[in-house]
Structure 1
Amino acid sequence: MALPIFASDALSSVAYAPQELLMILLTGGLAFLAFSPWIAAAVVVLLIVVVVSYRQLIKAYPSGGGDYEVARTNLGEVPGVVVASALLVDYVLTVAVSVSSGVDNIISALPFLAPGRVELAVAFVVLIVIVNLRGVREASLVFAIPTYVFIGSVVVMIAVGLFQTAIGDPPVASSAEFAVQAEDLTQAAVILLVLRAFSSGCSALTGVEAVSNGVPAFRKPKVRNAQTTLALMGGIAILLFSGLTALALISGVHYAENPCSLVGFDCETAVQPSLMAQVAAATFGMGSIPFYVIQAATACVLLLAANTAFNGFPLLGSVLARDGYAPKALNTRGDRLVYSNGMIILGIVAIGVIVIYQANLTTLIQLYIIGVFVSFSLGQLGMVRHWRRMLRETTRVEARRDARAGAERAGAVKGLIINSVGATLTVFVLAIVTITKFTHGAWLVFLAIPILATLMIGVNRYYRDVEHEIEMTDDVHFGSAGDVALILVNRLQKPVAKAIDYALAAKHDKTLAVHVAVTKEEAEAIQAEWESHRMPIPLIIIESPYRTYAGPVAEFITQYRAKHGSTVVTVYLPQYIVGHWWESLLHNRRARRIGQQLMLVHGVTITLVPWLLDSSELIYGRRSRPLPGQERAGRPFEPDPVSSVPIVERSSLERPDDL
């Protein structure tokens, strides 16, 4: 089960890596395809080195932190957040590239869907988000079947194609008859073209790090099982990549970045099939059952690779939030125990990328592997420093005396050699990828990674400052000079009466009602109504000719505390609870705005007193109050006579400064 869970990204990349490699070479003409076996061999060597290097990383860091943990522990904070930024960008592009490639293979089998390419890709992303938010188990058999069907069908196709070639009847692709309008290239341009083809072929390495990030999910012995899964993934990826590249060359697949450069191809009405579709059609025949099986399996495993990113991105986001480099909301699980905030963010950003680049696989590939090799390189450099530190801690003398220390030192020497080779190659490839893809759109990734890293460091500094500010010290004093409650009154209504009753039940030292009057007539009206209903607490009238509410109340509280000392002031704000979304647009929500402003005043606490309108039964399943004629036990908004205080005289109502 580990292979489909952690290796679907790496295995699915063989569906587009050979295609992009041959496509770049075809820019220079058919003769340049002669370079493809050597370039494919270089990609295979690099894949072997990376797989072997990550086996050492799994052994040294089985906690599941992957390149982020290695870089942060051994290289410092800045390299760590750079790796994290690169991985976040890589996860976004994994979704965009995998879904776009999956849609490309679907359209290759069903060309009539070509006009809705972008809409289809967006729909798949939305579907994956919904499925993950529902908390579907990743280890489900539903996820394993497409991966093994893909592996099995492609292996059978490679075997059949090579057998046909051996008996003298090689498969012939539908594009083999098309010539190519090649570009005139200088010697330097030829070298750059070959290097660019190599960097596109290196997209076959994406997803290799997924196993190192998921070591804790394995059964015991975790390290050995993870290393075995990584080795199997590497071996299968090499087999599929090499076999597809060989079959594409044998069958004469001509896949161009611009289909109109294929001489004889009707680029206006016809759809250029993917390399996988052309090889499958050449081997089994267009429209045959094996052809549709391969196309369906390829599309499914590519969508599964996108689903893998929806597990990696939220998990990395939660780790960054735990370490203080991302908002705490990313470390919050939803009702399905998944990191729903991270999934939603990933889905929105991936959809934006797909729409901007119109689900064009070739354009997206130019952005893709930058982040991969940034994390590869820094992770391997971190492992080199890790092994060197172990060698310093384990001296030669100790190794001679203690067999265990000797084994540890030998393992450190072996790991240092392997990861040094891995670091050298990945840094070299990163330089190649940067040079060849920078002007083709990769500059956006180089812009995004530093921005994300800077934001992460800024978030960490913010959390650190807040933690320092709220840290408990011995000079904290308890006890206040008094406790007063203020009920803000706009009009005398049942929600206000309920707030008064709550305040009286809390038994504050003093309970006052405050009305902010913008006109003299309004003040006189509320005074008369207050007296006619014989309300049990004093009413304070504060004039506000400029029609502001929070400011006059804040000034009153400040003056009150200046006169009476460090009094705790509790402000009660009645607030409507509605059941329809449109009802919130019909209320001015003044209580919430006033509360947010009063919270900036020292010594003030805010208490929101909910008044459930009848429509709130949509939320709570009951009415806030009975229908006419119905009885109910208790009237929570009616004042308790025992807690009541005498009504003050009118003269006192008009002079709040006397309080």
Structure 2
Amino acid sequence: MFNLTAVLKRLVIGRALRSDELGETLLPKRLALPIFASDPLSSVAYATQEILLVLTVGGLAYLHFTPWIAAAVVLLMAVVVLSYRQVVHAYPSGGGSYAVATTNLGESAGLVVAAALMVDYVMTVAVSVASGVDNIISAIPSLADHRVAMALAFVALLTAVNLRGVRESGRAFAAPTYLFIAGVLIMCGTGLVRYLLGDAPVAETAQYGIKPEPGEADLLGLALVMLVLRAFSSGCTALTGVEAISNGVPAFRKPKARNAATTLAAMGLIAIAMFAGVTTLAIVAKVHIAADSCDLIGLPDCANYTQRTVIAQLAAAVFAGDHSFGFYYVQAVTALVLILAANTAFNGFPLLASILAQHRYLPRQLHNRGDRLAFSNGILALALVAGALLWAYKANVTSLIHLYILGVFTSFTLSQTGMVRHWNRELRTERDPGLRRRHQTARIINATGAAITCLVLVIVLLTKFTQGAWLAVVAAVVLWVTMRAIRRHYDSTAAELAVTEPKGALAPPSRVFAIVLVSTLHKPTLRALAYARAFRPDRLEALTVAVDRDSTAELQRQWEEFGIDVPLKVVDSPYREITSAVMVYVRSIVRESPRDVIAVFIPEYVVGHWWENILHNHSALWLKSRLLFTPGVTVTSVPWQLSSSAAADHPAARAPGAVRRGEPTGRFKRR
């Protein structure tokens, strides 16, 4: 069993890497782009669609706002990319928004950023995978009934690939990302050239009108403004994942900051070109899409019609049909890159969690690297939470999207505000004129970014809060409170364990009272007695609990017959409760001699096969757990290896995680 587990583990994640091989896992720019930028690059596959879905609640009348909304998103994206380039240069040690906010705005602000980002990373996985499944279903509608199962399977696949290490995941994801970029740019370029030549592509839904939602047909004033703002906030999903590069600077090859900034700039330019191209082409091709297919006027059998995504409709229109090579190519790479876009979160979340764990805001296990030098515990935690969300929301993009991007703009706003304070502090001490000009320019960029992203955050809150974004707010608040509580626990534990008087702590106890638990007189019992003697305690006795009178009498007879010179203490238990009887006796000794150390020795035997554990009781764990909570008591297990435990010498038993479980002897059962 252990051998099979070890083999499967190596097949999934590969051979274990030495700690000194960490440098070999650092990323060149060509691999860093698909790893850290696949999320914002792939967002163009659904950002335009989300804008159109909001505007069409009032029918076709409001689609003329689309280019203006898209232009605002492009401007925002440019400002955010420029702002984060300043973060990368100023904080090359990683941590991104969290590091900036903590250093410049304080601990609480830093935790707000961390909580918001962690929630958003989870949403990145859920939305990206769900959107990728949507595009697969657009190409193969018969798979619609298997949406959730497909989504969960893709999350499991991403988890396995990321457990193999950052560099290997980059190699796996590089080709699909670059193929997606090429496919979308070729599609947009071909479509726009056809438009300029007078042969504009026409979407399959261009012939259908859209029935307005009740009360949404003739919006004026504030209602119209709110609709446009809601469409803008949905389009801002194109900015998700931009901060991942600033969080992952330590994963880049040297010079880390310059390589990360170059990758960030390349990502920004490509994402802007792709988003602008898809949106322009959607307007040219007259793509019409609605939340409910039956809102499309003139569509026959709407109840059984599965709407295709905007990307799918554009690919079919540009490449002359949904059976062309171009259509299937774009759909395949779009679906693939949307699923792989979750990899941005699989790299950003564990890195951020590791930093938080190092600062004692999350469990320390999240700071540990696995066999492949990846933060395995963070990867598994992200996969579990994202999988639960996909299952709860049935992998529906429209339902999940409302929980999205709130965290992104929270971190954007606080980090850019923190950067303004950073540059103010630098300018107070910098005297070089050239550097002062650079710092002033950077401050203007970050101040602009802070103002714009703060405005967008307010818009997102106003337009999405009641539609489900409140859940993301609640999750972030709960996470913030939890991280504060974890830090308080670690701080109080450290204070309690701190050495203030070394000489006093090293002083030996007044006496050592050793107790050997006995149920049957056999070899493990004798070994435990011999082991306890080796400690030369001031007092040594054996302890048994009288559950069955005949068995106890037989034990006493054997004790005298063998001439064992250790007193045998018999504790009565009229209700056959062994654990409680032992605890009462031990605590009574502690009360009588509070300055003494009570050393309890538990004889137990070790089995060699997993199935043998099923056949034996597990009372050692229960007894130890009870005794360990008693002040002044130490617990020692004295193992006796059975012949089957020779299997422990097998290589599989020495694999990480392979442990031979010790079993207590006789009738020390959990009651």
User: What is residue 428 of structure 1 aligned with on the other side?
Assistant: 455
Q: State the shift of 1:91 in Å.
A: 0.9
Structure-to-structure mapping, 1:584-603, within 5 angstroms: 584=613, 586-603=615-632
Call closer, same or farther: CA 1:532–1:242 in 2, change over 3 Å. Answer: same
Larger deviation, residues 212-221 vs 557-566:
557-566
Bigger CA radius of gyration: 1
TM-score of the aligned structures, taking structure 2 as reference length: 0.87
User: What is residue 301 of structure 1 aligned with on the other side?
Assistant: 337
Q: State the shift of 1:259 in Å.
A: 1.6
CA distance in 2, matches of 1:122, 1:619: 36
CA distance in 2, matches of 1:407, 1:62: 21
Task: Tell me whether 1:545 sits opposite 2:579 in the alignment.
Answer: no
Structure-to-structure mapping, 1:416-495, within 5 angstroms: 416-474=443-501, 475-495=504-524
CA distance in 2, matches of 1:514, 1:276: 76
CA distance in 1, matches of 2:393, 2:366: 27
CA deviations on 1:124-163 (whole Å, 9 max, x unpaired) are 1111112222336346433211111111111111111011
Structure-to-structure mapping, 1:257-296, within 5 angstroms: 257-265=291-299, 266-284=301-319, 285-296=321-332
Picking from 67, 83, 86, the partner of 1:53 is 83
Q: State the shift of 1:84 in Å.
A: 0.6
Q: State the shift of 1:120 in Å.
A: 0.3
User: What is residue 646 of structure 1 aligned with on the other side?
Assistant: none
| 8 Å contact kept, 1:317–1:342 | yes
Picking from 198, 205, 220, the partner of 2:232 is 198
Task: Tell me whether 1:523 sits opposite 2:552 in the alignment.
Answer: yes
Structure-to-structure mapping, 1:58-69, within 5 angstroms: 58-69=88-99
| 8 Å contact kept, 1:481–1:564 | no
CA distance in 2, matches of 1:495, 1:430: 67
User: What is residue 360 of structure 1 aligned with on the other side?
Assistant: 396
| 8 Å contact kept, 1:7–1:233 | yes
Structure-to-structure mapping, 1:298-377, within 5 angstroms: 298-377=334-413
Q: Aligned to 2:167, what secondary structure does the other structure show?
A: coil
Picking from 21, 25, 38, the partner of 2:68 is 38
User: What is residue 101 of structure 2 aligned with on the other side?
Assistant: 71
Structure-to-structure mapping, 1:92-241, within 5 angstroms: 92-135=122-165, 137-138=167-168, 140-183=170-213, 184-185=215-216, 186-187=219-220, 188-241=222-275
Q: Given residue 132 of structure 1, which amino acid in structure 2 is its aligned partner?
A: N
CA distance in 1, matches of 2:609, 2:200: 67
TM-score of the aligned structures, taking structure 1 as reference length: 0.89
CA distance in 2, matches of 1:179, 1:612: 79
Picking from 235, 242, 250, the partner of 2:284 is 250
| 8 Å contact kept, 1:71–1:382 | yes
| 8 Å contact kept, 2:120–2:408 | yes
Call closer, same or farther: CA 1:219–1:314 in 2, change over 3 Å. Answer: closer
Q: State the shift of 1:523 in Å.
A: 3.0
Q: Given residue 55 of structure 1, which amino acid in structure 2 is its aligned partner?
A: R
Q: State the shift of 1:315 in Å.
A: 1.5
Call closer, same or farther: CA 1:425–1:564 in 2, change over 3 Å. Answer: closer
Q: State the shift of 1:584 in Å.
A: 4.3
Q: Aligned to 1:476, what secondary structure does the other structure show?
A: helix
Q: Aligned to 1:480, what secondary structure does the other structure show?
A: coil
Q: Aligned to 2:203, what secondary structure does the other structure show?
A: coil
CA distance in 1, matches of 2:514, 2:368: 35
CA distance in 2, matches of 1:136, 1:410: 38
Call closer, same or farther: CA 1:221–1:343 in 2, change over 3 Å. Answer: closer
Larger deviation, residues 39-48 vs 469-478:
469-478
CA deviations on 1:516-536 (whole Å, 9 max, x unpaired) are 223544432321233344445
Larger deviation, residues 132-141 vs 603-612:
132-141
CA distance in 2, matches of 1:189, 1:574: 76
CA deviations on 1:573-622 (whole Å, 9 max, x unpaired) are 23354456665455442222111111222321111233445665665549
CA distance in 2, matches of 1:256, 1:580: 60
Structure-to-structure mapping, 1:529-568, within 5 angstroms: 529-535=558-564, 537-560=566-589, 566-568=595-597
CA distance in 1, matches of 2:391, 2:591: 59
Call closer, same or farther: CA 1:106–1:500 in 2, change over 3 Å. Answer: same
CA distance in 2, matches of 1:614, 1:254: 74
User: What is residue 413 of structure 1 aligned with on the other side?
Assistant: 440
Q: Given residue 221 of structure 1, which amino acid in structure 2 is its aligned partner?
A: P
Q: State the shift of 1:469 in Å.
A: 0.4
| 8 Å contact kept, 2:349–2:378 | yes
Q: Aligned to 2:602, what secondary structure does the other structure show?
A: strand
| 8 Å contact kept, 2:36–2:343 | no
Q: State the shift of 1:340 in Å.
A: 1.9
Q: State the shift of 1:421 in Å.
A: 0.6
Q: State the shift of 1:420 in Å.
A: 0.8
Q: State the shift of 1:236 in Å.
A: 0.6
User: What is residue 647 of structure 1 aligned with on the other side?
Assistant: none
Q: Given residue 546 of structure 2, which amino acid in structure 1 is its aligned partner?
A: A
CA deviations on 1:3-36 (whole Å, 9 max, x unpaired) are 1122111101111101111111111111211000
CA distance in 2, matches of 1:204, 1:577: 57
CA distance in 2, matches of 1:70, 1:299: 35
CA distance in 2, matches of 1:425, 1:561: 66
Q: Given residue 472 of structure 1, which amino acid in structure 2 is its aligned partner?
A: V
Count of matched residue pairs: 615
CA deviations on 1:47-76 (whole Å, 9 max, x unpaired) are 111111111111211111100001111111
| 8 Å contact kept, 1:5–1:138 | no
CA distance in 1, matches of 2:606, 2:639: 6
Larger deviation, residues 37-46 vs 469-478:
469-478
CA deviations on 1:253-303 (whole Å, 9 max, x unpaired) are 112111221123333323211111110111112121121111111122112
Q: Aligned to 2:540, what secondary structure does the other structure show?
A: strand
CA distance in 2, matches of 1:432, 1:412: 30
Q: State the shift of 1:477 in Å.
A: 4.4
| 8 Å contact kept, 1:380–1:422 | yes
CA distance in 2, matches of 1:45, 1:463: 44
Q: Aligned to 1:203, what secondary structure does the other structure show?
A: helix
CA deviations on 1:169-214 (whole Å, 9 max, x unpaired) are 1111111112111123332332211111100000000111111112
| 8 Å contact kept, 1:366–1:441 | yes
Q: Given residue 120 of structure 2, which amino acid in structure 1 is its aligned partner?
A: D
Percent identity over the alignment is 52
Q: State the shift of 1:326 in Å.
A: 0.6
Q: Given residue 585 of structure 2, which amino acid in structure 1 is its aligned partner?
A: F
Call closer, same or farther: CA 1:597–1:367 in 2, change over 3 Å. Answer: same
User: What is residue 8 of structure 2 aligned with on the other side?
Assistant: none
CA distance in 2, matches of 1:165, 1:214: 41
Call closer, same or farther: CA 1:108–1:220 in 2, change over 3 Å. Answer: same
| 8 Å contact kept, 1:519–1:545 | no
CA distance in 2, matches of 1:28, 1:34: 12
Call closer, same or farther: CA 1:305–1:612 in 2, change over 3 Å. Answer: farther
Larger deviation, residues 539-548 vs 165-174:
539-548
CA RMSD of aligned residues (A): 2.3
Structure-to-structure mapping, 1:612-627, within 5 angstroms: 612=641, 616=645, 620-621=649-650
CA deviations on 1:421-456 (whole Å, 9 max, x unpaired) are 100000000000000001111010111111110110
